[in-house]
Amino acid sequence: MTPGDLVAIMQRTLIEMLALGGPILVGAMVIGLLISIVQAATQVNEATLTFVPKLALVAGILFAFGPGMLAQLLDFTRYIFATAATVGR
Protein backbone atom coordinates (compact mmCIF):
# COMPACT_ATOMS: atom_id res chain seq x y z
CA MET A 1 0.00 0.00 0.00
CA THR A 2 1.43 3.31 -1.06
CA PRO A 3 1.12 6.65 0.72
CA GLY A 4 -1.23 7.72 -2.07
CA ASP A 5 -3.56 4.85 -1.20
CA LEU A 6 -3.57 5.91 2.44
CA VAL A 7 -4.35 9.49 1.47
CA ALA A 8 -7.25 8.26 -0.69
CA ILE A 9 -8.62 6.21 2.21
CA MET A 10 -8.37 9.15 4.60
CA GLN A 11 -10.01 11.44 2.07
CA ARG A 12 -12.91 9.05 1.59
CA THR A 13 -13.19 8.66 5.37
CA LEU A 14 -13.54 12.41 5.84
CA ILE A 15 -16.10 12.67 3.02
CA GLU A 16 -18.15 9.83 4.52
CA MET A 17 -17.95 11.43 7.95
CA LEU A 18 -19.25 14.74 6.60
CA ALA A 19 -21.96 13.05 4.56
CA LEU A 20 -23.24 11.04 7.52
CA GLY A 21 -22.86 13.59 10.30
CA GLY A 22 -23.39 16.79 8.35
CA PRO A 23 -27.18 16.77 8.01
CA ILE A 24 -27.63 16.08 11.71
CA LEU A 25 -25.16 18.78 12.78
CA VAL A 26 -26.50 21.40 10.37
CA GLY A 27 -30.09 20.67 11.37
CA ALA A 28 -29.29 20.93 15.08
CA MET A 29 -27.34 24.14 14.48
CA VAL A 30 -30.18 25.76 12.53
CA ILE A 31 -32.84 24.82 15.06
CA GLY A 32 -30.57 26.00 17.89
CA LEU A 33 -30.08 29.35 16.16
CA LEU A 34 -33.81 29.77 15.63
CA ILE A 35 -34.58 28.91 19.26
CA SER A 36 -31.86 31.31 20.44
CA ILE A 37 -33.39 34.13 18.40
CA VAL A 38 -36.81 33.41 19.89
CA GLN A 39 -35.33 33.28 23.40
CA ALA A 40 -33.52 36.57 22.87
CA ALA A 41 -36.68 38.23 21.57
CA THR A 42 -38.90 36.96 24.38
CA GLN A 43 -36.24 37.00 27.14
CA VAL A 44 -37.19 33.46 28.15
CA ASN A 45 -33.98 31.62 29.00
CA GLU A 46 -34.93 28.03 29.61
CA ALA A 47 -32.47 25.26 28.79
CA THR A 48 -35.15 22.71 27.91
CA LEU A 49 -36.47 24.99 25.17
CA THR A 50 -33.33 24.29 23.14
CA PHE A 51 -32.87 20.65 24.08
CA VAL A 52 -36.29 19.22 23.20
CA PRO A 53 -36.59 20.68 19.66
CA LYS A 54 -33.03 19.62 18.85
CA LEU A 55 -33.72 16.12 20.11
CA ALA A 56 -36.93 15.91 18.07
CA LEU A 57 -35.18 17.20 14.94
CA VAL A 58 -32.28 14.76 15.25
CA ALA A 59 -34.71 11.89 15.80
CA GLY A 60 -36.69 12.99 12.74
CA ILE A 61 -33.57 13.22 10.57
CA LEU A 62 -32.41 9.79 11.70
CA PHE A 63 -35.88 8.34 11.09
CA ALA A 64 -36.09 9.86 7.61
CA PHE A 65 -32.51 9.36 6.42
CA GLY A 66 -31.30 6.58 8.73
CA PRO A 67 -31.70 3.68 6.28
CA GLY A 68 -29.76 5.54 3.59
CA MET A 69 -27.08 6.53 6.09
CA LEU A 70 -26.79 2.93 7.25
CA ALA A 71 -26.46 1.68 3.67
CA GLN A 72 -23.75 4.26 2.99
CA LEU A 73 -21.91 3.27 6.17
CA LEU A 74 -22.12 -0.42 5.25
CA ASP A 75 -20.71 0.29 1.78
CA PHE A 76 -17.85 2.22 3.33
CA THR A 77 -17.18 -0.58 5.83
CA ARG A 78 -17.06 -3.13 3.01
CA TYR A 79 -14.63 -0.85 1.14
CA ILE A 80 -12.36 -0.59 4.18
CA PHE A 81 -12.32 -4.36 4.73
CA ALA A 82 -11.71 -5.04 1.04
CA THR A 83 -8.85 -2.55 1.06
CA ALA A 84 -7.41 -4.01 4.27
CA ALA A 85 -7.45 -7.48 2.71
CA THR A 86 -5.12 -6.31 -0.06
CA VAL A 87 -2.50 -4.71 2.22
CA GLY A 88 -0.16 -7.71 2.47
CA ARG A 89 -0.16 -8.49 -1.26
pTM of the model: 0.77
23-51 per-position pLDDT tens digit: 999 999 999 999 989 988 988 888 778 88
Grade residue 68 by pLDDT with cuts at 50, 70 and 90. Answer: very high
Model confidence at 69: pLDDT above 90: yes
**What is the average per-residue pLDDT within 51-72?**
94
Say what the pLDDT of residue 4 is: 85
Q: Among residues 23, 20, 41, 43, which one has the least CA distance to residue 31?
A: 23
Task: Determine the Cα–Cα distance for residues 80 and 74; give it in Å rounded to an integer.
Answer: 10
Task: Determine the Cα–Cα distance for residues 27 and 30; give it in Å rounded to an integer.
Answer: 5
B/e letters for 1-32, b = 16+ CB within 10 Å, e = fewer, are eeeeeeeeeeeeeeebeeebeebbeeebeebe
